[in-house]
Structure 1
Amino acid sequence: MAEKNSSFSQSDGSSGGQGASRADLYREWVDMALLTPIRVAWDDWRTQVGSIIIGFYLLLGTVGVALVEPPVQGQGDRYVPPFQDWSVPLGTNDIGASILSATVHATPPMLQMITAGAVFSTAIATVIGTVSGYKGGLTDRVLTTFTDIAMTIPGLPLIILLAALFEPTNPAVIGILITINAWAGLARSIRSQVLSLRDHSYVEASRIMGAPTHRILVDDIIPNIMPYVLINFVNSARNVIFGSVALYYLGILGGVHENWGIMLDGAYNGGAIYSLDVLHWLFVPMIAIVGISFGFVLFAQGTEKLFNPRIRARHAETVEDDNAPYQQ
């Protein structure tokens, strides 16, 4: 009986140790995959400020549109200055519509354009540039030729032509349209970086060990180019902002949705650049455009350290001390 009790206690101890080990592995994975990147990014003031700015615009485009009524004619008197009538805190335009309402309700379509355009151009460039640079040979020649053709097509005339042909109204489609060939230059730059990375010792070691190509790209190549990709993602987002505003301002895109470019066009035609009494009509959308661009730039600069393995290791928490009782 003593031997049986002893055996039962040993088996219980081993099962408890295995359970603790699985829990520790799960905790370690959560720490490395989720918590460590957050600690690394939040350690930089630029990330903090950029996150606050981007979060503000996200709230503006979700909660704000539910709290602020849409802009309509006659919400107040014409050309009310800002901070004079708190029913229209940022003033009104030439038809008495609230400028605050117009700015808030222009935010959701803008966020959709930014997301669709930046993700489309960055994803296409990363895939084509990485595969082209790593594979070489016929694959490289075909993808490079395709990229060169895309680079030779003038971007603005192509966008104007496609906008006139299809007359898109969906913000996501407009975002992709604005970046229809913007990915080409980034793809060439990524290809050049991958060409210098593919002969490094750690990449060669993965090939010798028989790692498949997609694992080498995901584990060894892409993490080393991610800071550059992230910066260009932000640049693509800023290009979508400025491009959409310009196209709406010029009247190339239809005015189905509220847009800061339409507000700028209305302010210009309404004489905002000639009269101080209506200058707020011009300044409010300009501040909205500059603010979101500034937030993206700060966020990208602050998150560059995310892909530095030494910095990530410094911020990672270990569970070795917690495992000590089970290792004895």
Structure 2
Amino acid sequence: MKPTETDSTAVDWRGDSASSPDVTRRERLKETYEARVRTPALVAWADWRTRFGLLIIGGYVLMALVAVLGLWREPSTSQAPRLLGPFTDMSYPLGTTQSGVDLMALVIHSTPTILILITAGAVWATLIAVIIGTVAGYKGGSVDRGLMSFSDLVMAIPGLPLVIILAVTLNPENPVVLGVIINISYWAGLGRSLRSQVLTIRENNYVEASRTMGISTPRIILKDIIPNLMPYITVNFVFAARYVMFASVGLYFLGVLPYSTQNWGVTLNFAYSNGALFSWQAAHWLLAPMIAIMGLSLGLILLGQGLDRVFNPRVRTRMAGESKSTVADDDDDTVTEVF
């Protein structure tokens, strides 16, 4: 039995209705990609600081991979002339220590621990500060007073003695735990600063509109408040990471933190103890870990400054307009070629 015209129309109608959600979903995915991936990437990449920061951080990540995959000799297996100068023998590009240890191997094999340590400490401090600062600023009242009193109590505790006591008591060797211990109280000041900014943001019309419509507090904080705080959060995340790096190197240098293998701080300690500070022949022993520390710090600063543009609404709006105009020009060229 052949389908009638009515049946075919119904079939066509059903087919169109079935394909319509697919088109809508595809357009929605394209809009999401443009708004959350392509436009932020264009804004970030347009700044030379982002490019250089990514290049430097990428170099340290590459060194960490080399260490993890065992593509460079272990420091303990180095059998080289003592106090060999940098670039004297390309088998040991950065030279050697007084005991013949390859400095390049020391720098490379210290990188994974440092990267894990600073990431864990920065994530811990920033996450706790964002949670406490935004909740206290938005809720106000007794919640605000309670959270800020707790923050003030933490700020009143001397940070360095607390870290030393916890390190000596717990004796942790896991870099994640060490990062959290070093930044155990760093979040308090950042949380209070975020709270003061939330007090202003919560008075905006769009926040009041969301509150009037009965939207839940977590959703308002995530959708309306935190996006406006992202430039400040990004910069302070970088500051927290740099603080962990400098503090850990200093504490390793002082011999407070436990270690099973040498790292940048321990290398500085051994160099200083063997008189590298007063001997030009051994100066590279001090300079190698110092340059590694300064390079990572510079990469973090440049990356943080570049990513700050991503969360600047004026820059993003301008870049989005340029992106749309470019797409429109491409479409016009295509139409001209067709005709």
TM range (shorter): over 0.9
Name the CA distance, whole Å, in 2 between partners of 1:288 and 1:74.
Answer: 20
Q: Give 1:42's match in structure 2, choosing from 34, 42, 45.
A: 45
2:26 aligned partner = 23
Please report how far the alpha carbon of residue 198 of structure 1 lies from its aligned counterpart in structure 2 after TM superposition: 1.0
Name the CA distance, whole Å, in 2 between partners of 1:242 and 1:257.
Answer: 18
1:90 aligned partner = 94
Could you list the per-position Cα deviations for residues 37-75 of structure 1 after superposition, in whole angstroms to 9, with x for gaps in the alignment?
Answer: 212211111111101111111111113442111102652
2:64 aligned partner = 61
Please report how far the alpha carbon of residue 14 of structure 1 lies from its aligned counterpart in structure 2 after TM superposition: 3.8
1:214 aligned partner = 218
- Whether the aligned pair in 1 keeps the contact of 2:66 and 2:108 (CA below 8 Å) is no
Bigger mean CA offset, 154-163 vs 64-73: 64-73
Could you list the per-position Cα deviations for residues 113-135 of structure 1 after superposition, in whole angstroms to 9, with x for gaps in the alignment?
Answer: 10110000111111101111111
Name the CA distance, whole Å, in 1 between partners of 2:92 and 2:259.
Answer: 23
Name the CA distance, whole Å, in 2 between partners of 1:99 and 1:309.
Answer: 45
Please report how far the alpha carbon of residue 110 of structure 1 lies from its aligned counterpart in structure 2 after TM superposition: 0.3
Please report how far the alpha carbon of residue 302 of structure 1 lies from its aligned counterpart in structure 2 after TM superposition: 0.7
Q: Give 1:77's match in structure 2, choosing from 77, 81, 91.
A: 81
Identical-pair percentage: 48
Q: Give 1:126's match in structure 2, choosing from 130, 143, 157.
A: 130
What is the 5 A alignment of 1:178-189? Answer: 178-189=182-193
Q: Which amino acid aligns with 1:13?
A: D
Q: Which amino acid aligns with 2:29?
A: Y
Please report how far the alpha carbon of residue 24 of structure 1 lies from its aligned counterpart in structure 2 after TM superposition: 1.5
1:325 aligned partner = none
Name the CA distance, whole Å, in 1 between partners of 2:171 and 2:67.
Answer: 28
- Whether the aligned pair in 1 keeps the contact of 2:52 and 2:302 (CA below 8 Å) is yes
Name the CA distance, whole Å, in 1 between partners of 2:20 and 2:199.
Answer: 47
Please report how far the alpha carbon of residue 35 of structure 1 lies from its aligned counterpart in structure 2 after TM superposition: 2.3
What is the 5 A alignment of 1:142-291? Answer: 142-291=146-295
Q: Give 1:12's match in structure 2, choosing from 7, 15, 24.
A: 15
- Whether the aligned pair in 2 keeps the contact of 1:73 and 1:95 (CA below 8 Å) is no
Bigger mean CA offset, 102-111 vs 258-267: 258-267
Q: Which amino acid aligns with 2:196?
A: S
Please report how far the alpha carbon of residue 156 of structure 1 lies from its aligned counterpart in structure 2 after TM superposition: 0.7
- CA change 1:97–1:221 in 2 (3 A) is same
Gaps in structure 1 of 5+ consecutive residues: 323-328
Matched pairs, number: 322
**TM-score calculated relative to the size of structure 2:** 0.90
- Whether the aligned pair in 2 keeps the contact of 1:116 and 1:175 (CA below 8 Å) is yes
Please report how far the alpha carbon of residue 3 of structure 1 lies from its aligned counterpart in structure 2 after TM superposition: 4.1
- Whether the aligned pair in 1 keeps the contact of 2:251 and 2:257 (CA below 8 Å) is yes
1:117 aligned partner = 121
Gaps in structure 2 of 5+ consecutive residues: 332-339
- Whether the aligned pair in 1 keeps the contact of 2:67 and 2:112 (CA below 8 Å) is no
Name the CA distance, whole Å, in 1 between partners of 2:304 and 2:33.
Answer: 23
Q: Which amino acid aligns with 2:252?
A: Y
Name the SS of the counterpart of 1:40 in structure 2: helix
Name the CA distance, whole Å, in 2 between partners of 1:133 and 1:74.
Answer: 56
Q: Which amino acid aligns with 1:265?
A: N
Name the CA distance, whole Å, in 1 between partners of 2:166 and 2:22.
Answer: 59
- Whether the aligned pair in 2 keeps the contact of 1:73 and 1:96 (CA below 8 Å) is no
Q: Which amino acid aligns with 1:35?
A: R
Q: CA RMSD in A?
A: 1.9
- Whether the aligned pair in 2 keeps the contact of 1:74 and 1:95 (CA below 8 Å) is no
Name the CA distance, whole Å, in 2 between partners of 1:203 and 1:18.
Answer: 32
